[in-house]
Amino acid sequence: MKISYEWLSEYVDLEGVTPEQIAEELTRGGIEVDIVEQRDAGVENVVVGYVMEAKQHPNADKLRVCQVDAGREEPLQIVCGAPNVARGQKVPVALHGAKLPGGVKIKNTKLRGEKSQGMICSAKELGLPEKLLPTEQTEGILVLPEEAEVGSDVRPLLGLTDTVLELDLTPNRSDCLSMWGTAYEVAALLDREIWLPEAPAAHPSGKTKTVAIELDAEEDCPFYAAQVVDNLKLAPSPQWLQNRLVAAGIRPINNVVDVTNYVMLEYGQPLHAFDYDKVTDGEIVVRRAQPGEQVKTLDGVTRACDGETLLITDGTQPIGIAGVMGGENSEVTESTTTVLLESAFFAPPSIRSTARKLGLRSEASNRFEKGVDPERIVPALQRAVQLLQELAGGEPASEVTVEKMGDVEDVTVQLRHDRLNNVLGVQVKPETVRDVFRRLRFEMEERDGVYRVRVPSRRPDISIEVDLIEEVARIYGYDKIPTTLPWGQQSPGALTREQKLRRVVRHTLRDAGFNEVLNYSLTSPDRLKELPPLDKGIRPVRLNMPMSDERKVLRTTLLPQLVESAEYNVHRRQEQLAFFELGRTYITEEKKLTELPQERWELAALVTGPLAAAHWQGNNQPVDFFTVKGQLEMLLTRLGVQGIAYRAAELEGFHPGRTAEVLLNGRVIGCIGQIHLQVSEAHDLEETYAFQVQLAPLFEAAVTDPKYAPIPRYPSTTRDLALVVHQDVPAAELESAIRQAGGKLLVDATLFDVFTGKQVGEGKKSVAYTLTYRAEDRTLTDEEVNEVHGRIVEHVEAAFRAVLRQ
């Protein structure tokens, strides 16, 4: 809402208060003022001139030499390039030394040999908002009204001495979508007088025209008032009215339409003028549309309605979409002489949904959506009729006709003084409270520390006690609320175990050189297909109305976006690309959600290229499977997770020979491997390795409180064991067989060498372990160790057809 300071001062005593002070008070009171704008935009020394003569320039086809009476002793000679300049016009003249917006200064000069003592200005040159002006005012120079006084400053005439305050209103304060509402608010904040003149009802003097109102959708429209005005002479509105509309950001059209807009700004009640002659029998039927019914609105577009669209009809056909836009068939045109003025209450939900569906948001619908004040419906209508009489020669041709369902009653809300103080945490004096309600102009009775407040219908945002507490607080001043700390029962603060462990994961990976990324939860289905999640049968959750194809579904896996993060950085020549993300995936099997999807915390990490920075000593090897696996293992160690196994697997998007499922106690919780070359190459990545694991099972298995075990008291003995086995024997199986055969005395088995080659034979590999033997209660003898070691050898020989390598 844009508020003209000059207009506002008609209703509130603003003496000695600057627009900036009002802005400050409003903002501190909860009505944020975004902009305080001087309308003159720096115009100085521009006066009204009378064009006495406009002759062709002797040396230039497109220029005219004008003699202009600008109230000076001598007429001024001004060369003008505008085609519309003509003798007898009143025009804005920038005199020698004048200033125009944008720092332009005007001086006497010569143009093609003719002296020019100033400039005749266009609307644009004066900084007027061209978009809001009718074309006849924006093409060429601005022609001023005939009554403009020659030699006088143009600024008051064009409303340029005014200041406009632009309010950024929260949805609860729709009462300030009007001059009156803002006047109440400013008067309360400043504690000033207020004058809100009302227009009396105008009665027809001669023959009357019929108006018959029928409300067929009571819930959507419980209150409708109308009056017919005839004998209208359509013309441009007077300058002062145009100025006010322009200041409010509304385009002047003609005196009839302008009056409806003016009263909307003044009272907050949108009005609509139908051409009475197009309304069959003066009948108004408000009803819901038939599904599929069409209405051509006055912007020329044919709108298809559904069963919820509220229509204004004349009983035979729709003549407008209620509260949103009038119909073309009943539009006020140049030939209109009689109008039916509508002032009504349309239910906010109905207007909101229709405006939304049709994509039509207007000044009117904006007010109806938030609820207009039923008490202003008739006064606004009367005011409009009064203005049509004054400005358009109109005469009332019917009485004010009202159809309404029930009466609106003022709301009474109680406020307990104790409660006020308890909620604010401050001691407000009763006289302060009384004063606040006086300033707000709320009637109030006080008894035993309870205020019974009659809330006027213009403030529908106030319905319960806390609403009044807020009113008191904002008028009393939030700056008077102290800072204290809660004294009540103290509670210990803490993270949950899961939250702590998530931090452990983050910090461990960070310390290992990984960079945490944050990717969007919304992605494209195609991206997910490239590296699909392990789960079968799940469907990505789909948005109903996505903003773009890129953000259509919720991710079911984190890896595809990590690949993208890597690609983004490769394209920016970044190195040491190691990323991780901790985030949720959204899992459902439902095609159409009936319940919330499962949100699963997952960890994904990805490394590509060398992990270490290039160093003058060399050794920045590209990452390989075992480096990344080692990083995962390190993390698992840090979390105290045991029971993890890796099982070779062929997974979509991964290298078929370099990928494993990660199992926790036999259950798949994730995967690790090389990203398939087709994928990594498509994203300009070198060999890339990644893993993704679910956090919930990991955290369930995590043991982060260590249990002390005594330091061994007896020495251990080690023996190396080198075996030749078939190449396909997984090392993990071999190791578990060794450990099993070794029993309690074998305390460790460390694989230290693997190789293939001619020495070991085709299709074979040599695997070497260091086995550590120890007993808790004695030093083992050679014989004892030999016995266990022998048992191990026998076992693996039998189980894997392993051959001991000498």
Annotated binding site: 461, 467, 470-471
Can residue 613 be called a binding residue for other proteins (CB under 8 A)?
yes
Stretch that binds other proteins, among 182-190, 389-397, 402-410, 574-582 (CB under 8 A): 574-582
What minimum distance in Å lies between the beta carbon of 498 and other proteins?
9
> What is the enclosing helix (H) or strand (E) of 465?
helix 465-476
Can residue 568 be called a binding residue for other proteins (CB under 8 A)?
yes
Can residue 51 be called a binding residue for other proteins (CB under 8 A)?
no
Q: Closer CB to other proteins, residue 520 or residue 755?
A: 520
For tokens 């016009």, name the residue: 89
Interface residue with other proteins among 470, 686, 687, 784 (CB under 8 A) is 470
Can residue 626 be called a binding residue for other proteins (CB under 8 A)?
no
Interface residue with other proteins among 212, 450, 522, 668 (CB under 8 A) is 522
Interface residue with other proteins among 565, 608, 680, 766 (CB under 8 A) is 565
Can residue 357 be called a binding residue for other proteins (CB under 8 A)?
no
What minimum distance in Å lies between the beta carbon of 609 and other proteins?
12
Can residue 511 be called a binding residue for other proteins (CB under 8 A)?
yes
Can residue 359 be called a binding residue for other proteins (CB under 8 A)?
no
Interface residue with other proteins among 49, 394, 597, 653 (CB under 8 A) is 597
> Cβ neighbours of residue 365 under 8 Å, at least 6 residues apart?
323, 324, 351, 352, 354, 355
CA atoms within 13 A on the CB side of 663: 10
* The one-letter amino acid at 756: T
Q: Binding to other proteins (CB under 8 A): which residues in 331-350? A: 348-349
Q: Binding to other proteins (CB under 8 A): which residues in 231-260? A: none
CA dihedral 44, 49, 53, 58 (to 10 degrees): 0
Can residue 30 be called a binding residue for other proteins (CB under 8 A)?
yes
Going by C-alpha positions, the residue among 47, 145, 769, 210 that lies closest to residue 137 is: 145
Query: How far apart are alpha carbons 334 and 493 in whole angstroms?
Result: 73
Can residue 612 be called a binding residue for other proteins (CB under 8 A)?
yes
Q: Binding to other proteins (CB under 8 A): which residues in 662-681? A: none
> Cβ neighbours of residue 67 under 8 Å, at least 6 residues apart?
51, 52, 53, 54, 75, 76, 77
> Cβ neighbours of residue 100 under 8 Å, at least 6 residues apart?
42, 43, 46, 94, 106, 121, 125, 126, 127
* Token pair of 703 as six digits: 């043991």
For residue 487, give the 3-state DSSP assignment. Answer: coil
Can residue 473 be called a binding residue for other proteins (CB under 8 A)?
yes
Can residue 497 be called a binding residue for other proteins (CB under 8 A)?
no
Stretch that binds other proteins, among 88-96, 135-143, 473-481, 699-707 (CB under 8 A): 473-481
Interface residue with other proteins among 503, 529, 744, 801 (CB under 8 A) is 503
Q: Binding to other proteins (CB under 8 A): which residues in 410-449? A: 422-426
Can residue 591 be called a binding residue for other proteins (CB under 8 A)?
no
What minimum distance in Å lies between the beta carbon of 479 and other proteins?
7
Whether 683 contacts 564, CB under 8 Å: yes
DSSP string computed for 371-416: ---GGGHHHHHHHHHHHHHHHH--EE-S--EEEESS----EEEEEE
Q: Closer CB to other proteins, residue 30 or residue 533?
A: 30
CA dihedral 339, 343, 344, 346 (to 10 degrees): 90
Q: Binding to other proteins (CB under 8 A): which residues in 688-727? A: none
Report angle CA 518, 637, 577 to the nearest 5 degrees. 35
Query: How far apart are alpha carbons 95 and 103 in whole angstroms?
Result: 15
Q: Helices in 512-541 by DSSP H: which ranges?
A: 525-530
Whether 332 contacts 319, CB under 8 Å: no
Can residue 27 be called a binding residue for other proteins (CB under 8 A)?
yes
What minimum distance in Å lies between the beta carbon of 465 and other proteins?
8
Can residue 450 be called a binding residue for other proteins (CB under 8 A)?
no
Provide the 10 A C-beta neighbour count for residue 217: 19
Interface residue with other proteins among 205, 302, 490, 806 (CB under 8 A) is 490
Q: Binding to other proteins (CB under 8 A): which residues in 531-550? A: 541-547
Whether 662 contacts 651, CB under 8 Å: no
What minimum distance in Å lies between the beta carbon of 718 and other proteins?
30
Q: Closer CB to other proteins, residue 170 or residue 704?
A: 170
Interface residue with other proteins among 170, 294, 362, 637 (CB under 8 A) is 170
Q: Binding to other proteins (CB under 8 A): which residues in 364-393? A: 369-370
Binding residues for Mg(2+): 461, 467, 470-471
Interface residue with other proteins among 103, 292, 406, 482 (CB under 8 A) is 482
Can residue 505 be called a binding residue for other proteins (CB under 8 A)?
no
* Token pair of 6 as six digits: 């000059």
What minimum distance in Å lies between the beta carbon of 646 and other proteins?
24
For tokens 């009384």, name the residue: 434
